[in-house]
Structure 1
Amino acid sequence: MDKKSNDSTNQKKEPEKASYPIDTAVFTTAERTIVPIPVPSDATKPLIHELTQYTEHGYGLWKYGAGLPHEKRLDLMSAGYDPTAVTHSSSLLHFFTMTDIHLTDKESPGQVPFYGDQWGVISGYSGIMLYTTHVLDAAVQTINALHQKKSFDFGISLGDNCNCTQYNELRWFIDVLDGQLITPDSGAKDDPIPGPYNDYQDVYQAAGLDKSIPWYQALGNHDHFWMGMFPPDDYIRETLVGDTIINLGNIFTSTDGIKSRGYYMGALDGSTPYGDIIGAGPVADFPAGAPTVPADPNRRSLLRNEWLNEFFNTTSQPQGHGFTEADAAQGFACYSFEPNAQVPLKVIVLDNTQNDDDPVDAHGTGRGSLDSKRYDWLVNELDQGQAEDKLMILATHIPIGATPESSGLNALMSWCPYAAVTEPDLIAKLHSYPNLILLVCGHRHLNMVTALKSPDDSRPELGFWEVETASLREFPQQLRTIEVVKNSDNTVSILTTNVDPAVKAGSFADISRSYALAAQQIFDLPTEDRSYNAELVVQLTPEMQEKLANL
């Protein structure tokens, strides 16, 4: 296949020597997959915090399996379309997506391990909280290795870099990609196992993303809402930089939301080898007063504009990672860019998280939404791209009209009723742009592909694909590569491939994978068929066929 994109071979720079190198063998799931080993039917189920007992009882075990072929999807094509003789003629674009990393300050007094440990909320606690920066570092090294095989034009993080809006969580993300020294510790300096590189608290050198790969950023709900669900109030903000563990009720059921009280949520003790949960339980269990941890001013909660501005404090490219200084100052997290001057294609990055001043109802503020300013901006960008005969890719954090899981679409993942445009009206508008071929997103921690078919059977080019990327936090802890290729019959194929970060046996990223799988098994969540590779065929307009004819 011809490669029609920037050839950066002579610009590539070897990354810094990583403190935690990955396996030398790097594959995508098209070549090799991670296969969970079923837990024995008679196994004793450990409690989620009993990390040392996982392996003993058969939890968190996996093996390598065969590659996962790309399923050719013709959902958007006209009835009778025959792809039998069609071949790929040239590559137009090659990029990667990663999302929902949820870098977690595990020692923060504002996290909620009690929810996970006692109430079964996987996002509240699992053993992976110890190793979130290490998993990101392994993912970056994996991307670098894949880049040596086939150059990426760019990469994009689709949001939820942070778990809890904290400054230090965001800095860990940017610094890992920049290849800085990482101190995955907060509050008092801890070294649970004396010596370097032998525990989750040790300072280490991140490899850094290959400097020849530009990377871009989208805003997620966890990046500016506490736990992704609530605008931080004064109590939350003071708690994060203080020493007193947060006191909450059940924010999922209480009408008081984050003003409910009754339980100390706990924190992880960074001085213990397995990050023991401390300071968690009913308030009545602490007659001597509220439990405390060492305070840290770097845990401060970032406002939306502060979060955006931090992307100008970076050593990688582009400066701002898509955001402009003027827009960042106003908290406006939308922009567009054209990744390859040789290919008529633009990427539109849209902030579709809720506004900070939206009414806070029983579902919090973690749903998809657009206000009038962002919707008008989106329409203008789409109009411009269509008028200029450019293919368009839309990147958001939250899915739009995605296929529900078989268990049903959780209300927390639905479209916000306070949005300036309803979800059906937004989809109808998107269907009016024949050059829109793809929407990439995260948020649900799933690998799913949805065909948003044309409302007019005679115009299949009005349909587009939506590709969700799973979380780097929860199992299967994956990223995606996406390649747009031109076909011999003037259609386009989108090749989307899951990637498991390459891990060296016994490394922290390897341990995290085991913990992530075990958490799924302990909480009785799906573990099978979590990967999905596909070839998604798209019909081009005659105008785009002509424009791409010589590429």
Structure 2
Amino acid sequence: MAEINRRSFLTFAGLGAIGAAGLGARPWGLQYAGAAPLPTSVAGTTLEAVAIPLGSSGYRKLGAGPGWPTLVRTELAEAKDGREDRRTALASFVQITDVHIIDAQSPMRFEFVDSFNGSAHRPQETLAAQGLTALVRRINALASGPHTQREFDAVVTTGDNTDNKEFAELDWFLTALNGGTITPNTGASDRYEGVQDSDVEMYWNPGSSIQDEYKQAGFPEIPGLLDAAIAPFTSPGLNTPWYCVFGNHDDTPIGTFPNGIPLLERMYTGSLKFMEPGSPELVTSVSSAAVSGNVELVLAALSSFTNPPREVTPDLARTPFTKREFVAEHLKPENTGPGPVGHGFAPDGGETGIAYYSFEIAPGVVGIGMDSTNPVGLAEGSLGEEQFQWIEETLIAGSSRYYDTDGSPVSRQGTDTWFVLFSHHTSSMDALLPDPANPSERRVPGSELVDLLHRFPNVLAWVNGHSHRNRVRPFEGATPEQSFWEINTASHIDFPQLGRIIEVADNSDGTVSLLATLFEADSPYAVDYTDLSPIGLASLYREFAFNDAAPSSTRAGNAQDQNVELMLASGR
């Protein structure tokens, strides 16, 4: 179990750039104009308070730490005095990402490779549905942006909505966002059958007295936790229309393996769960095979386990879905919730499997939801040429002026629309393996999409997830108006478990501000271990995530990646 030292703690507390360097410094070429004044409404956001660990070492409870300031970033445009009094709110929306709703009991999970891949097993993962519901409650309670007080126009979830592309996981995800009763359990109806009641020392067994590796590092013994984790509970559902973006964990087994391997897919609904290899060498063998993507090697390694797999109750609810089925589930009337029908996906998406679309966030502000998954499977992404061309056509249709591929300006009749793009993968995506169903179609890397976006002065931002960390990057164009921001937000499964509000404001001085504010789920920072209510479990979800075996001090980002006002030249 890795401990978080004081330097890591400063990063968690949002002080890595400011506390260590001072407000006058400009680390890594960062340009900013100091901290913006606090808005009148900060309650429930990280402007007010942020979870911090109590104590200096070992397993730690969490408490409320000081809020993070709003840093004004001026790499792409000047921040002019008095803009707060001149600005007009154009849109206000929420991004959540990488919620990874997990069927923690699925036979098609390889938790034993956790020493090689920290996402293979998380001590908090059985509580993911309760954690997401607490995030939904927070969004409903906030209701509007803290800086402009504009009511939320939309919520966008940017991929990895499920962890292992199971229908059960998808049902829990949709119910959490739309409202209703969730029973986060598969297999046996009356008991948990995953690794956390196995008495295998490499996993945290909260209901057992066995001194597993987690308890040796300070994790508590909590009788009844697993029973409470799989018990039915109710989500209120979002009050705001929401839109969905497809991620690699929604597309491929374990978010990593190739698609369409029948033997691998049969494991989902089978009765054998591999938990304990028997030797470190076998863990290494499976891990190496998994990294290679060679399913035959994975299966050969599993068959050589010296400890037999556990017999578990098979369940057809664990059946893996296809992209078409994922889209079709969103289109069902019972999954409409606060709307819109399909949550962005087109009415024929269940037949075509097309998972990209455009939608109106607010009048004059349009979102483009992209599908950045590679049809081969695997973790990294790219775009198909057809989708790339559609994005270009969509941008042209909403632009009265833009730049051609040779840099020459183009004018056309119409009114400029502001655009915000959403994807799961970041601008570094470069998985260019051809689509097996359409091998002649070129795959497009993120760098080429960056070049395309630079041609349109009315592109504000590219908002994404996948990396499980906060990062905000300026992309400077040939002219100030051709610049945009990339806003990458941390996951909601790994600490610090954040969502992000983005307010778009016209400052009436030739600039636009993107006011980005992070927030935490609506659950206490700490509860007694006897509180196994849904809210108590959501609190423990955060605590266990912080104390996970391999916490990353980079996930929270530095101050320039957290609460920020991002300046852009509007040309208007």
TM-score, structure 2 length as denominator? 0.74
Aligned to 1:374: 387
Find the counterpart in structure 1 of residue 354 from structure 2: 332
Task: Decide which of 488, 513, 537 is 1:508's aligned counterpart.
Answer: 537
Please tell me whether the aligned partners of residues 496 and 533 of structure 1 are also in contact (alpha carbons under 8 angstroms).
Answer: yes
TM-superposed deviation, 1:517: 0.4
Contact 1:349–1:396 under 8 Å retained in 2: yes
Question: What is aligned with 1:243?
Answer: 271
Q: Which moved more, 1:131-140 or 1:329-338?
A: 329-338
Q: Give 2:321's aligned amino acid.
A: L
What CA deviation, in whole Å up to 9, does each residue of 1:231-288 have, x standing for no partner? 14111211101112259822566646222237888xxxxxxxxxxxxxxx961223xx
Q: Partners of 2:191 and 2:433 in 1: how far apart? A: 48
Amino acid paired to 1:426:
L
Aligned to 1:536: 566
Query: Conserved in 2, the CA contact under 8 Å of 1:254 and 1:260?
Result: no
Q: Distance in 2 between matches of 1:223 and 1:35?
A: 31
Deviations 1:136-193 (A, max 9, x none): 0000000000017842111111011110010100110001112111101000013579
Q: 1:140 to 1:423 in 2, by over 3 A?
A: closer
Deviation at 1:195, TM superposition (A): 9.3
* Number of aligned residues: 451
Matches for 1:431-446 after TM superposition, within 5 Å: 431-446=454-469
How has the CA–CA distance of structure 1 residues 421 and 33 changed in structure 2, closer, same or farther, with 3 Å as cutoff?
A: same
- Is 2:404 the partner of 1:384? no
1:26–1:142 Cα contact (<8 Å) kept: no
Uncovered stretches (5+) of structure 1, i.e. residues with no partner: 1-24, 41-57, 266-280, 357-363, 402-412, 546-551
Cα distance in structure 2, aligned partners of 1:381 and 1:148: 28
Q: How do 1:2-151 and structure 2 match up within 5 A? A: 27-37=44-54, 39-40=56-57, 58-77=58-77, 81=78, 83-87=80-84, 88-116=86-114, 119-147=115-143, 150=149, 151=151
Give me the whole-angstrom Cα distance separating, in 2, the residues matched to 1:122 and 1:261.
Answer: 18
Q: Secondary structure at the match of 2:59?
A: coil
Q: What is the aligned partner in structure 2 of residue 294 from structure 1?
A: 313
CA contact (8 A) 1:39 1:59 kept: no
What secondary structure sits across from 1:208 in the alignment?
A: coil
Tell me how far 1:512 sits from its aligned partner.
0.9
The ranges of structure 1 where at least 4 consecutive aligned residues each deviate by more than 6 angstroms after the TM superposition are: 192-198, 262-265
Distance in structure 1 (CA, Å) of the matches to 2:569 and 2:292: 48
Alignment partner, residue 197 of structure 2: none
Cα pair distance change 1:143/1:263, threshold 3 Å: farther
Matches of 2:242 and 2:519, distance apart in 1:
17
Amino acid at match of 1:330: T
Q: What RMSD over aligned residues (CA atoms) do the two structures have, in Å?
A: 2.6
Identify unmatched segments of 5+ residues in structure 2: 1-41, 193-206, 208-222, 278-284, 401-414, 435-441, 528-535
Separation of aligned partners in 2, 1:399 and 1:327: 24
1:470 aligns with 2:490: yes
Distance 1:105 1:374 in 2: 32
Other structure's SS at 1:429 match: helix
2:296 matched to which residue of 1? 259
Q: Percent identity?
A: 29
Report the CA distance between 1:527 and its aligned residue.
Answer: 6.4
Distance of aligned partners of 1:82 and 1:496 in 2 relative to their CA distance in 1, 3 Å threshold: closer
CA contact (8 A) 2:52 2:65 kept: yes
Structure 2 equivalent of residue 14 of structure 1:
none
Equivalent runs, 1:131-210 vs 2, <5 Å: 131-147=127-143, 150=149, 151-191=151-191, 199-210=228-239
Partner of 1:234: 262
> In 1, Cα distance between the equivalents of 2:250 and 2:242?
18
Q: Residue 540 and residue 76 in structure 1: after superposition, are their counterparts in 2 closer, same or farther (change >3 A)?
A: same
Structure 1 position 330, deviation (Å): 1.1
Per-residue deviation, 1:85? 3.9
Please report how far the alpha carbon of residue 368 of structure 1 lies from its aligned counterpart in structure 2 after TM superposition: 1.9
2:504 is the alignment partner of 1:490: no
Letter in 2 for 1:369: S
Determine if contact 1:36/1:527 at 8 Å carries over to the other structure.
no
Q: Is the 8 A contact 1:250 1:260 kept in 2?
A: no
Provide the residue aligned with 1:394 in structure 2: 421
Give the distance between the partners of 1:196 and 1:114, measured in 2 at CA: 22
Residues 392 and 438 in structure 1, CA contact (< 8 A), matched pair in contact too? yes
Return 347-356 or 147-156, whichever deviates more.
Answer: 147-156
Q: Is the 8 A contact 1:250 1:257 kept in 2?
A: no
CA, structure 1 residues 335+182, in 2 after alignment: closer, same or farther (shift >3 Å)? same
Shift of 1:120: 4.5
User: Closer, same or farther in 2 for the Cα pair 1:91/1:496, shift >3 Å?
Assistant: same
Q: Is the 8 A contact 2:92 2:501 kept in 1?
A: yes
The CA distance in 1 between the partners of 2:446 and 2:156, in whole Å, is 24
User: Any idea what the Cα deviations from partners look like across 1:312-343, whole Å, max 9, x if unmatched?
Assistant: 12141111001012133111111101122xx3
Q: Which amino acid aligns with 1:536?
A: L
Q: Counterparts of 1:133 and 1:524 in 2: how far apart (Å)?
A: 21
Query: Conserved in 2, the CA contact under 8 Å of 1:517 and 1:527?
Result: no
For residue 197 of structure 1, report the CA deviation from its aligned partner: 11
Which residue identity lines up with residue 103 of structure 1 in the other structure?
A: I
| Contact 1:263 1:283 (8 Å CA) reproduced | no
Q: Which residue of 1 aligns with 2:214?
A: none
The equivalent position to 1:320 in structure 2, one of 342, 360, 368, is 342
Secondary structure in 2 aligned to 1:139?
A: helix
DSSP-derived class of the 2:341 partner? coil
Alpha carbons of 1:166 and 1:524: their partners in 2 closer, same or farther (altered >3 Å)? Answer: closer
Q: Is the CA contact (8 Å cut-off) linking 1:399 and 1:441 kept in structure 2?
A: yes
The whole-number CA distance in structure 2 between the counterparts of 1:465 and 1:144 is 27
Cα distance between partner residues in 1 of 2:423 and 2:97 = 10
Deviations 1:33-81 (A, max 9, x none): 11234542xxxxxxxxxxxxxxxxx32422211111111111112xxx4
Q: 1:60 to 1:111 in 2, by over 3 A?
A: farther
Structure 1 stretch displaced more, 148-157 or 436-445 = 148-157
